[in-house]
Chains A and B, each alone.
Chain A
């Protein structure tokens, strides 16, 4: 790529004018004549038998068009009333997950009936008139109690254990026997809620004449959703159109196939009216997937010099009451990334997935990798604390050397490229680490508690090779050079804030030599765009962008043939230079992509045998994942009187390879850090023992305000990858993965003088204050 003006530039996003002026169209902004509105009746109990449902009163409401229950749907022609889970796990228990509860509800908020009325207000009124009688059943919320025995979430399974996956590599027992020190620690990674500001939203309509279903949904995966709807509704897939218009945040929570999407689609078919359902925030807390929720029991073996030799690990993961699309896959990613950026070879691990009467867990920003990074980065600090070493030195001692890439870990992943020490050294220099440690020591003498937390993360993303994914891992791009020179890009990924309308246009503008405003990037409509897998797992640019590059290559190759024919030259002698074609070494004649596109449209001056038209559809199958990495350093002061945590500094030095638009990459890191630090300090989904959700509104569940987060100082290093033709790695999740342990390590470091070894998140002031008053003998605070 010789000609570059756009790639690497901080240009304003091309999607923004409509967003800042209120002219964008989110699902709730879709207006269709004749629309009716759905409300769901949901279980108020964590576990209950449904003994009767009386819909008569609701049905007699003149505003109501229809009421359907689980029983109605269960017997409906063609409807497959159970939801999918994508996995390749042979022994996974997959109990039915009905789109409306059939005779038992297993989680608070499980949909029991749907009411359709002439306005959103009347629909909710009528939902109140559906009389459901429940017989409460014993609920189980605690993962360990659930794993141990009854009561069972699914009585027919006779267990709450959904799967057990053991793993072993090297000789961990020998390493433990020979260790100078061993450290044992339970680390709880609490349940959190994704909270995109736009809740789940959908409107379905059915054209009976064309036998065509159209579903607008706030989804990250329009095509995968279409495929699953075809299966669930018994419709041919070519009769379903899924549109993800503007989507107001996803963070993994909209990477799913939700019961409501199936039910609303089915109801639209029955009524032949557009049916709209916009959930309330309270419903969103109950019925949108949650993230994390693992107990990680860890044992580390180390030598006196800080070298880590082995890890024993038991991951007990809460599945919730049912599997959603990727529920059981998430904790397996934790196990795969248990190494972090360290080279130890002995590992014994076990993952246990457990059903409880709670909402399903699934992919939430980082999806399994934040949990791994959290425990391994905490483990490094615990080793340093025990051996009275600097945590920086322990990291340095255990890093995979930059010369050792590609590096295959004991868990079987091949890290593509990395230079962990350079990134860490850059961060230490920027923040003046030595100076900070000195300052910390002085402040401690004054009774002030400064904490310095480091996290050197690596994560697996750019999901991913199809062989290693629960379903397809490739993605697609089409480029069309239109007759008058503008360029249409159709991408299979489905951005919802990541800015690919801009970054993809930057790539095309450079490579095909057109002004950026001549490039239009279309996504999120299965009737416009060729099949694509969607946006998740930091794959949008690393996989979708790579497909775009392949399509550019095909366009260029054909354009070169067209130009060569005009000039009676050998195509091998024609090249793209500075965005134009010319005969090698002869700048006197040149042709633009647009000119070649026009000739390809006219069709009469093409070389014999060359088809008219200048367009290409290509797919990229990633040969491997990509592994971005970085060093986050957080400095906090913990108030000895109140336990409050005050941010002093936050620095992130990340490496995601080559940057297409640094401004957009930084934005991804900012947002990621905020979500990660918020898990460390504020966020926690809480159910009581009966499975009642106690954090069901934004009044009870703390996502941070502007005042509660610090200024983030960013820098980066560039270590390209050869996994894709753009040399880039994903950056969507890295901030979240890196930040949580940096913040926790900082807070725990601040409290080290009190003998604190570990504190479980969220690190709330009352917990920290209590720890400063009396630390348990093992140094571990729950």
Chain B
């Protein structure tokens, strides 16, 4: 059957089996593979997305149930050109290792701060109880959420990956385009 999903602000119409889970519609029909699957009992939270702005485990929602609704996945939370403060905070605080739970964790944390913009450490830990991480021991995740909260309350704008991790031009420049001869002198290569 055809459903009408607005995903990351873009309306799409896709054909799905009635039993297809939302997570598989996102991953397989729309190729939004940032949303992961880590279990089969709605325990791990790796598949967390926002449905009309509220966090849900997309392995526990049928795609058809999301028809006519708005879905935000990690790809819609922020991009390399415009990182969400939560993404930046996870990066800066080393709140991830293998990265598999991270996308769902970030989406949950975004929802948590929406409900409680200034949570205590205990509130952060309680607020993320639906998301499992096996790598970090949660220490730096808590730190990241706290930092993101502070940045968002201060109105910290979004940054790009390039601002935070600049790329330097090559030390030895290639010849200008169209020039067939590679400069023979190092000096010509503007070292």
Contacts and interface: CB of A to CB of B under 8 A. Distances in A.
Nearest to B97: A497
Interface of B: 17, 19-20, 24, 27, 31-41, 43-44, 46, 73-75, 78-80, 83, 87, 90-92, 94, 96-103, 106, 121-122, 124-126, 128-129, 131-142, 161, 164-168, 170-174, 182, 184, 186, 189, 191
B172 A598 contact: yes
B171 A21 contact: no
Given A602-B182, A697-B41, A711-B121, A22 B74 contact: yes
A706 to B, nearest CB: 4
B30 to A, nearest CB: 12
Contact of B134 (A17, A251, A604, A673): A251
A432 interface: no
Contacts of B34: 21-24
Interface in A88-133: 120-121
10 contacts: A12-B91, A12-B164, A13-B94, A281-B38, A496-B98, A667-B140, A697-B40, A699-B41, A706-B126, A709-B137
Nearest to B46: A197
Contact of B73 (A22, A278, A498): A22
A17 B80 contact: yes
A198 to B, nearest CB: 4
B100 A698 contact: no
Contacts of A497: 97-99, 135
B9 to A, nearest CB: 15
A568 interface: no
Most buried by A among B98, B132, B164: B98
A15 to B, nearest CB: 8
Contacts of A707: 122, 125-126, 129
B176 to A, nearest CB: 13
Contacts of A664: 94
A28 B23 CA distance: 13
Given A19-B99, A698-B132, A282 B170 contact: no
A698 B42 CA distance: 9
B137 A697 contact: no
Contacts of A671: 97, 134-137
Contacts of B79: 21
B90 A20 contact: yes
Contact of B103 (A22, A483, A485, A486): A22
A247 interface: yes
Most buried by A among B78, B135, B140, B170: B135
A25 interface: yes
A659 interface: no
A598 B186 contact: yes
B137 A198 contact: no
A673 B134 CA distance: 11
B44 A698 contact: yes
Most buried by B among A16, A195, A197, A515: A197
Contact of A26 (B36, B73, B83): B36
A483 to B, nearest CB: 7
Most buried by A among B17, B87, B94: B94
A695 interface: no
A25 B27 CA distance: 12
Contacts of A15: 99
Contacts of B184: 602, 604
A594 B172 contact: yes
A386 B24 CA distance: 59
Contact of B172 (A597, A604, A699, A735): A597
A518 interface: yes
Interface in A1-38: 12-17, 19-26, 28-29, 31
Given A12-B91, A248-B99, A485-B170, A706 B41 contact: no
Interface in A563-615: 592, 594-595, 597-599, 602, 604
A624 to B, nearest CB: 28
